[in-house]
């Protein structure tokens, strides 16, 4: 039996080496999911106190299953073929010279670097989930928008480090000389990426100055909607029509921006166009009753309401109505406005007046 396993096979390789190679690969393929789950659950024991109850180990397993499984398989490939050699009869050049050995080795090292970087990415994603959960518990909206930005920043840093390490260890490039060379061409790169750099600086301005945060209702130019996310280059806004618009951060910083979520009150201003057949006594009663109607509703600010005979228009007598709601909630605003409008209709009908036929009231 010993002689059988030591029998040469394919050049310098033995039956034992081939069996070890096939056995390691079969074990890795068969138990890859089990090994991944064990490693994830072991790692989660150290992260459990930071993750909280809502982020369980299953979420970490879902994030790590594919990249960690690929990483484990690549490690198994290394150990499986570590003792295997190419037959001498093939007369292949060493991996230091261009040929099949160099191609296979470089391909494996690149795949290993990509798999390892992807594993780090998933760890960063899980840490981002934990930070977002803790931020929501703390109730900080500004920190809530900072978490995705920090997560993407760390990912960019990981990619840069991975590229430089790969260039140095895989392709044997002098990284120090490469960085020095980049300094010479930095000006050309900066000019070519002028808009991208401006948007990046705009994102830093947004995070430092905080003109808005994720979730705010904003209006810039003709765009109005809720801020969904703030990235390196752009801000995503979900409009009132439920479409998603991507706005460059430079435009969000340079253009006039109205943060509607920062309003302390909601202003209601419109004009009633009454017919000229309305007697002066009825006009006065209508004005007084609308004033009383606005004062009766506790949701309307008592010190900022006005009902005035504004002007005599070409086709109507115009009453100005102005008041403020002690809320910024859109649904409550529409509810109060509806109740006020029904009340005004009853007041006008009760006092024998009617709207002018050629005009219509407009709410501002």
Q: How do the pLDDT tens digits run along the chain, 364 residues long?
A: 555 445 555 556 667 777 778 888 888 888 888 888 888 888 777 776 666 666 767 777 888 888 888 898 998 888 888 777 766 565 666 666 777 777 888 888 899 999 999 999 888 888 888 777 777 666 655 556 677 777 877 888 888 888 888 888 877 777 667 666 655 555 455 555 567 777 777 877 887 778 888 888 888 888 888 888 887 788 899 988 889 999 988 888 888 888 888 877 888 889 999 999 899 999 999 999 999 888 887 788 877 788 999 899 888 999 999 998 887 777 888 888 899 999 999 999 999 898 887 655 555 5
> What does the pLDDT read at residue 200?
74
Compute how many other C-beta atoms are within 10 angstroms of the C-beta atom of residue 26. Answer: 12
> What does the pLDDT read at residue 94?
66
> What does the pLDDT read at residue 107?
87
State whether CATH 2.30.30.60 applies to domain 195-262: yes
Crossing angle for the helix pair 141-169 and 100-138, nearest 10 degrees? 170
> What does the pLDDT read at residue 285?
94
> What does the pLDDT read at residue 256?
85
Please give the helix or strand (H or E) that residue 121 lies within, else none: helix 100-138
Q: If you ran DSSP here, which 8-state letter would residue 304 be given? A: S
pTM: 0.56
Kindly report the backbone phi and psi dihedral angles of residue 275, in degrees, each rounded to the nearest multiple of 5, phi listed first.
Answer: -70, 150
Fold of 266-350: Alpha-Beta Plaits (3.30.70)
Given CA atoms 179, 183, 184, 187 in this order, what sign does their dihedral have? positive
């Amino acid at each position: 039996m010993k002689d059988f396993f030591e029998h040469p096979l394919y050049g310098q390789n033995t039956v034992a080496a081939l069996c070890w190679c096939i056995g390691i690969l079969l074990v890795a393929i068969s138990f890859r999911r089990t090994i991944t789950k064990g490693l994830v659950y072991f790692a989660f024991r150290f992260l459990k106190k930071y993750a909280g109850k809502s982020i369980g180990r299953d979420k970490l397993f879902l994030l790590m299953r594919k990249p960690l499984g690929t990483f484990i398989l690549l490690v198994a490939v290394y150990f499986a073929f570590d003792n295997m050699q190419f037959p001498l009869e093939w007369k292949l050049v060493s991996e230091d010279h261009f040929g099949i050995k160099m191609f296979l080795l470089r391909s494996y090292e690149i795949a290993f670097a990509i798999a390892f970087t992807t594993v780090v990415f998933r760890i960063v994603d899980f840490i981002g989930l934990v930070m977002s959960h803790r931020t929501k518990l703390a109730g900080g909206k500004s920190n809530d928008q900072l978490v995705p930005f920090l997560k993407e920043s760390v990912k960019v840093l990981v990619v840069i480090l991975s590229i430089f390490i790969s260039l140095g260890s895989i392709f044997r490039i002098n990284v120090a000389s490469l960085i020095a060379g980049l300094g010479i061409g930095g000006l050309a790169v900066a000019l070519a990426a002028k808009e991208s750099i401006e948007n990046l600086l705009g994102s830093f301005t947004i995070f430092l100055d905080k003109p808005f945060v994720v979730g705010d209702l904003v209006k810039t130019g003709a765009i109005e909607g809720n801020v969904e996310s703030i990235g390196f280059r752009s801000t995503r806004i979900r409009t009132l029509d439920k479409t998603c618009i991507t706005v460059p951060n430079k435009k969000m910083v340079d253009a006039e921006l109205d943060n509607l979520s920062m309003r302390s009150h909601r202003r209601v201003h419109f004009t009633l166009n009454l017919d000229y057949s309305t007697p002066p006594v009825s006009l006065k009663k209508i004005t007084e009753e609308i004033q009383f109607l606005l004062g009766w509703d506790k949701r309307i600010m008592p010190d900022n309401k006005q009902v005035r005979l504004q002007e005599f228009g070409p086709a109507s007598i115009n009453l100005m109505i102005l008041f403020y709601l002690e809320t910024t909630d859109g649904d409550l605003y529409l509810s109060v406005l509806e109740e006020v409008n029904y009340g005004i209709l009853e007041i006008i009908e009760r006092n024998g007046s009617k709207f002018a036929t050629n005009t219509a009231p407009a709410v501002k």
